[in-house]
Structure 1
Amino acid sequence: MAVTPEEPAMRQDAPAAAPHVYPASLPLFLAGRALHGAGPAFEVIDKFSGAVIATGHEASDAQLDQMIETAHAAFRRGASAPYERGAILDRAAALLLERADQMKQVIQAESGFTAADANAEVTRCLQTLRLAGEEARNLSGEMIPISGAPNQGNRIAFTLRVPLGVVLAVTPFNSPLNTVAHKVAPALAAGNAVVVKPSSATPATTLLLAEILRDAGLPDGLLSVLLGGGGVTQRAIADPRVRFIAFTGSTGVGRQIQQSAGLRRTQMELGSIAFTVLCEDADLDIAVPKIVGASFRKAGQVCTSVQIALVQRSRFDEARARFAEAVAKVRYGDPAVEGTVTGPLINRREAERVEGWIAEAVEAGAECLVGGAREGSVVQPTLLAGVTPDMRVMSQEVFGPVLSLVPFDRLQDAIATVNATPYGLATGVFTNQIGPAFEFARKLEVGGVHINETSSSRVDLMPYGGSKDSGFGREGPRYAVEEMTEERIVTISI
């Protein structure tokens, strides 16, 4: 029988209204000013109650063309000096700090995040903006030892890193501020112009960030906010003036974008099945709380949320008991209630899908140790055992609050299990032995291996990205600036 918390955080009374700071009508953002969309209407809903909290209109074809033309013209006028670009990003960080409470309220209203998750978005975005400001000032090429080649003694050679032009940034709902900043801030630091298309589920956060950048002194035209769905995105990609596409989202959509991009450069952060491995020497006092937190915060809607914990068989029974106890204590429900860890999924349809996958696994022989039920758009934090590779909870990305425990015998078996999936974003490994740690680091086919941390470990200054069907290219301001610039060789004959 499934175990549930003794005092679940589900509230039976009517949910509170959205904070008053949330706009009732959502405009586009072009050349530093609000612009009402002329395309089809869309609604933003409260993710917990399902109530409509705002409406907006997509950009029309003419408005989209105007955005791209404005960005292209702003880029062609020439980027400001690196020092000034860095200063703008530093001032934006200072303004974000001043407006942090407003930003947190907007994030909570449209994302369904808890206060803790909204706060983390803001504090991490501060770091991202500041790091991007540093990279703007540090942007440089390198000297080339051309005189070391035959008959080139009278020449000097060096490279410049130059911006690409108009960057299209397509961002997801599950990190409505910091992921936007990870695309917009490095693009601006590099001297590009940006058109950002946020998720229609969480657009106001991006609009507020755009206002902050404008107020920090960003020249008009260098940043526009495009609202709309997949059709708007595809029309933007079809415009040859867009020279770089930065996308975070599903692998399926990523494939479509890559096919449309042709020879243009892209950065793709796509789907994942995130594993964390517990070796027989793992410290469960450290590992279990970290894995539970990484599995159930943001309702498991993070590409690196721990979906599968691979546990060496000698510790499996102990770990199973520890995880069951810990997951049963995870509070879930209304994200406005203090202490809630797992709030609603992005919509009821996704919650029903996750509920269905859990039921399907149990029917096929899996054991539900904790949770498993759905209440509205909230799925209880769920712990499964006995899952098999043919079950969707193990073979596809759940993107919900579901953690499965799977035993393994040898280290090679754990490595083979991770590498057998088509994805390769990040894996956590808990071990205190240097040999196994390096074996995982060398042999796992993923973009990041985190020893004694979970798959969800991320520091904003480090390179972040995947391999295989998890995409390519790297976020992290230093690395994203490299992605969004190209190297130009300059030679001088004396």
Structure 2
Amino acid sequence: MRKPLYCGGQWINTSETLEVINPFTKDIISEVSLADESIVESAIYHAYTGFSKTKKLSSYKRYQILTQIAREIEREKETFAFLIAMESGKPYKYALAEVNRAVQTFSIAAEESKRIFHEYFALDTTPEELPREGLVKRFPVGVVLAITPFNFPLNLVAHKVAPAIASGCSIVLKPASATPLTALKLAEIIEKTDFPKEAFSVLPARSSLIEKYLNHPLIAKVSFTGSPQAGWAIKEKAHKKKVTLELGGNAATIITKSADIESIVSHCVTAAFAYSGQICIHTQRIFVHPQHFQRFTEMFIEKTRCLKFGNPMDKCTDISVMIDEENAIRGENWINEAIQDGAEFMLQGKREGNYLSPTILTNTHNMMKVYSEEVFAPIVCIEKYDGNIEDAVHKVNDSKYGLQCGVFTNDIKELDYCFEHIECGSVIHNASSILRLDAMPYGGIKESGFGREGVRYAILEMTEPRLLLKERNI
């Protein structure tokens, strides 16, 4: 079945199409129309003209639009979940969880649209006592070019579209080429609302084409989620634009002496292997107190062996294929390189096509790609630290990335030390690095990103402060 793209309120079929492949069955699900230069130009122009309407939408109208989107996603959540599982290979139970999160993301944005930050302050604070007062109000920046990855084809789209609507911006969305159907399904819902039709487009397109428009004069902001390599290249090319980069990392989790390992091991297994590790905050490195190392690893291996492989459409499947064979081969090669360099298997994974079974390694170090790079595969490195929290934090920070870190501890001094000294965007207490709540600020430092997402914080990124320096007593 051929699916048109959505450009400024119009569904358009183009001469060039993209095949969307089910990663598990290898069947062609659909053919999607690809945008060409004329379509991209049209979408940007429509978004620019649509911005004259979106910026005038009242807070209540934005709230109403976002609430309607959330309700429609909720009403069609099983349809969305099956679509995500089919085009991304994400097991259904995780796909359904993603849909539920997207409902929350739009609902949070609806509430935030009613309380966008303004500030009043007196300015008679100098000896001159000038009769002035200040009002800072935030205004939407304009057209947002949003570029999203394959691994969360609904909720990571929602984290760009929802705050843009709440801010009063217009949006041109370029979804991942592997997973465009979910974004196009969302366009069907947004089209039914009162959001100005010309202000929203979903353009499946080649990345090389979209790159040409990063500095387009009508685009005010670029918001990108994806690999660090692609993200920093985008920032360099879009150097005159406001840019938000939500990139990847090699997230760590610390398990201290005070942790109750019996209660946390299942959570840690999920954090390591959910969606085959294709999550930017999946737990890639685990540092365990020596007192717990043997017992923790035994339980971790045992529970990993119990993960059920199968068709992602099966509601009982725990782990399935990766997005494509190229990435599965890359993961396999990194494992082999690490073993040749002295790493040891705790659990040896094997590759069949684009399925890479869970792999647990130890005796790893920062000269190995499985440890130092973003692995984005079902691979985890488990190591001891020397028992001192300072050593665990040092090992976490021995990385060019800094997105999130989980810390299991019941010692407040250890927690305080971690919060003060771990170099990352978020420290997660008594949960692994994979935990993300959609209302929280989200983003990294070092090579893991630039700026913050999380609905309220994305709204700040999509608005500009403007000061009125007002004379008093008029």
With normalisation by structure 1, the TM-score equals 0.93
Residues 216-275 of structure 1, C-alpha deviation per residue, up to 9 Å, x if partnerless? 221111111111121122022131211111100111111111011113111111120010
The residue aligned with 1:56 is 32
Alignment of 1:44 with 2:20, yes or no, is: yes
Farther off after superposition, 473-482 or 76-85: 76-85
Name the structure 2 match of 1:407.
384
In 2, distance between residues paired with 1:347 and 1:55? 18
Distance across 1 between alignment mates of 2:382 and 2:396: 14
Equivalent position of 2:213 in the other structure: 236
Q: Note if contact 1:333-1:378 (Cα within 8 Å) is conserved in structure 2.
A: no
RMSD across aligned positions (CA)? 1.4
Per the alignment, residue 6 of structure 1 pairs with none
Question: What is aligned with 1:200?
Answer: 177
State the alpha-carbon separation in 2 of the partners of residues 368 and 41 from structure 1.
Answer: 43
2:347 — aligned with what? 370
1:458-485, CA deviations, whole angstroms, 9 ceiling, x for partnerless residues? 1111111100100121111111101100
Taking the aligned partners of 2:28 and 2:93, their CA distance within structure 1 comes to: 24
Pick the aligned partner of 1:349 from 306, 313, 326: 326
List aligned pairs for 1:210-359, cutoff 5 A. Answer: 210-359=187-336
Match of 2:3 among 23, 26, 29: 26
Q: Quick one: structure 1 residues 25 and 152, their matched pair in 2 at CA, closer, same or farther if it must change by over 3 Å?
A: farther
User: What is the CA distance between 1:414 and its match in structure 2?
Assistant: 1.4
Q: CA deviation at 1:300?
A: 0.5
Distance 1:129 1:152 in 2: 45
Take 1:465 and 1:440, find their aligned partners in 2: how far apart are those partners? Answer: 18
CA deviations over 1:404-444 (Å, ceiling 9, x no partner): 11111022221111112100000001111111111011100
Task: Give yes or no for contact 1:174–1:302 (8 Å, CA) kept in 2.
Answer: yes
Aligned residue number for residue 453 of structure 2: 475
- 2:402 is paired with a residue whose SS is coil
- The 2-side partners of 1:490 and 1:399 are apart by 47
Q: Which residue of 1 aligns with 2:106?
A: 129
Is the Cα contact below 8 Å between 1:171 and 1:197 reproduced in 2?
Answer: yes
User: 1: distance between equivalents of 2:56 and 2:349?
Assistant: 53
391, 406, 413: which one aligns with 1:435: 413
**Hey, what's the Cα distance between the residues in 1 that align with 2:9 and 2:86?**
24
Cα distance in 1 for partners of 2:350, 2:417 equals: 39
One-letter code of the match for 1:189?
Answer: A
Q: Do the aligned partners of 1:112 and 1:343 also contact (CA within 8 Å) in 2?
A: yes
Aligned pair in 2 of structure 1 residues 338, 73: CA closer, same or farther (>3 Å)? closer
Q: How does 1:99-138 map to 2 (within 5 A)?
A: 99-138=76-115
Q: Quick check: 2:36–2:205 contact (8 Å CA) kept in 1?
A: no
State the Cα distance separating 1:30 from its structure 2 match.
1.6
CA offset digits 1:44-94 (Å, max 9, x no partner): 111112222222232111111000000001112443111101110001111
Question: Counterpart of 2:439?
Answer: 461
Matches of 1:334 and 1:313, distance apart in 2: 38
CA contact 2:281–2:404 (8 Å) conserved in 1: yes
Amino acid at match of 1:60: D
Is the 1:342–1:401 contact (alpha carbons within 8 Å) kept by the matching residues of 2? no
- CA shift, 1:321, in A, is 1.1
Bigger Cα displacement from structure 2, 211-220 vs 65-74: 211-220
Partner of 1:12: none
SS state at 2:164 partner: helix
Gaps of 5+ in 1: 1-23
Q: Distance in 1 between matches of 2:366 and 2:128?
A: 62
Q: Find the counterpart in structure 2 of residue 185 from structure 1.
A: 162
CA distance in 1, matches of 2:391, 2:131: 58
Q: Is the 8 A contact 1:304 1:456 kept in 2?
A: yes
Paired AA for residue 394 in structure 2? A
Indicate yes or no: 2:18 matched with 1:70. no
State the one-letter code of the partner of 2:195: L
Task: State the partner residue of 2:73.
Answer: 96
Q: Which amino acid aligns with 2:144?
A: V
Matched position secondary structure for 1:406: strand
In structure 1, C-alpha distance between the alignment counterparts of 2:330 and 2:245, rounded to whole Å: 25
Q: How many residue pairs get matched?
A: 470
Q: Distance in 2 between matches of 1:238 and 1:120?
A: 36
**Deviation larger for 402-411 or 357-366:** 357-366
The one-letter code matched in structure 2 to 1:97 is: E
Q: Distance in 2 between matches of 1:152 and 1:210?
A: 54
Deviation at 1:159, TM superposition (A): 1.0
Contact 2:175 2:183 in 1 (8 A): yes
- Corresponding residue for 1:15? none
Q: Larger deviation: 102-111 or 120-129?
A: 102-111
The answer on whether the counterparts of 1:273 and 1:307 sit within 8 Å (CA) in structure 2 is yes
| Shift, 1:152, TM fit | 4.8
Alpha-carbon distance in structure 2 between the residues aligned to 1:156 and 1:282: 52
* C-alpha distance in 1 between matches for 2:80 and 2:355: 24
